[in-house]
Amino acid sequence: MALAGDLPGTPPRRRGGWMMRLIANPRFQDWASGFPLTRGLARRDGAEIFDIVQGFVQSQVLSALVELEVFHRMAEAPQAPADLARRAGLSEDRMAILLQAGAALGLLKRRRDGRFSLARKGAAILGVPGLEAMIRHHRAFYADMADPVALLRGRDETELARFWPYVFGAAAEVEPEVARRYSDLMAQSQALVAQDVLRMLPLAGVRHLLDVGGGSGAFLQAVAMRYPDLKLTLFDLPEVLPVAQARLAEAGLAARIVLAPGSFRADDLPGGCDAVSLIRVLYDHDDATVAALLRRVFTALDPGGRLIVAEPMAGGARPERAGDVYFAFYTMAMGTGRARSAARITELCGAAGFTPVKAPKVTRPYVTSALHFEKPE
């Protein structure tokens, strides 16, 4: 693949069209891969395209390593393929193929004695809260992505839609086990999100924070540990709150955090707060639901109060991988919601009456981005 840019001096209206047709010509590609001035670019483009082609296989290799607990075994000591195969119920040659693939992906290291050990990225998977749970959860997502064209055409039922019934407002239909699985998955990953949100948007000066759609309370737990004098309220569905109650009691925070049951689709939010957080909430819902929620938030918030929106975001005019690839298709498979750009979220918040505050610098967009708004005095 070569010469992906436009030639300088080409008229704007013709620039790109004829060049892309040239690049798409197999004879040109054959020439470009051997010509000294273009072969480096051609090889690099080819390697990057192949990396996209094999991306699903890479993800499934990672899934197998997690499912068979290979990283955990190697956290103890380097392991031989035969020993791991015995524990996993695989043949030694199949385990060797899996370990070799893990090493090729930089997750494992192959040692001179034939054993394998953790590489830095493999060890990091063990240290990132909720990552293994999310990788296991991807079984449902990948089933929906097996036929991406059918998904794009609006297939009636998806695996993710069955996993996330709360998104559709079916509070009365949420079985306790489904609510527990949802809360567990969110709680395990929420700790990482909380780290980034509180680094980007410190809560100094806030008196009372209302966390809407707070799930198991993982975000408020992190807030409580950092801000011991801050009054905290968690608002979520009645089916979810028992999980939050148990989690917060175990952390010794039951007396500090008020649990307010309700649905933001149908109920007013508790008032008297000078800050509201929406952590990974808006991208679960369509524009109409988001607009109605933001109006409720505006009503509940004290004049001069702050609104924090934190979730993965699309790139808008500058597409980016996390928001425009992974989260765009994930929310599509859920059957509702969408990954929105910061500009679109700002537009929705503005329509509800909020004024934007300068956005913080985002360090890990694949974890979360964040925006900050104020309710005028």
Any idea what the CATH number is for the domain that residue 301 is in?
3.40.50.150
Same domain for 319 and 180: yes
pLDDT in tens, 200-219: 999 999 999 999 998 889 89
Q: How far apart are CA 358 and CA 3, in angstroms?
A: 38
pLDDT confidence of residue 9:
46
21: left (phi over 0), alpha (psi -120 to 50) or beta: alpha
Same domain for 258 and 308: yes
Same domain for 297 and 354: yes
Same domain for 107 and 65: yes
Would residue 133 count as lying in a domain?
no
Per-residue pLDDT for 2 more than 60? no
Percentage of the chain exceeding pLDDT 70: 89
Q: How far apart are CA 256 and CA 224, in angstroms?
A: 8
Q: Containing domain of residue 198, as a range?
A: 140-374
End residue of a domain, out of 127, 151, 176: 127
Same domain for 208 and 77: no
Same domain for 301 and 367: yes
Same domain for 285 and 351: yes
pLDDT confidence of residue 4:
43
Would residue 214 count as lying in a domain?
yes
Per-residue pLDDT for 291 more than 80? yes
pLDDT in tens, 57-75: 999 999 999 999 999 999 9
Would residue 261 count as lying in a domain?
yes
Same domain for 253 and 113: no
Query: What does the pLDDT average to over 235-254?
Result: 90
Would residue 132 count as lying in a domain?
no
* Count of structural domains within the chain: 3
Would residue 1 count as lying in a domain?
yes
Tell me, yes or no, if the pTM score tops 0.85.
Answer: no
pLDDT in tens, 221-231: 999 999 999 99
Same domain for 201 and 103: no
Would residue 134 count as lying in a domain?
no
Same domain for 280 and 245: yes
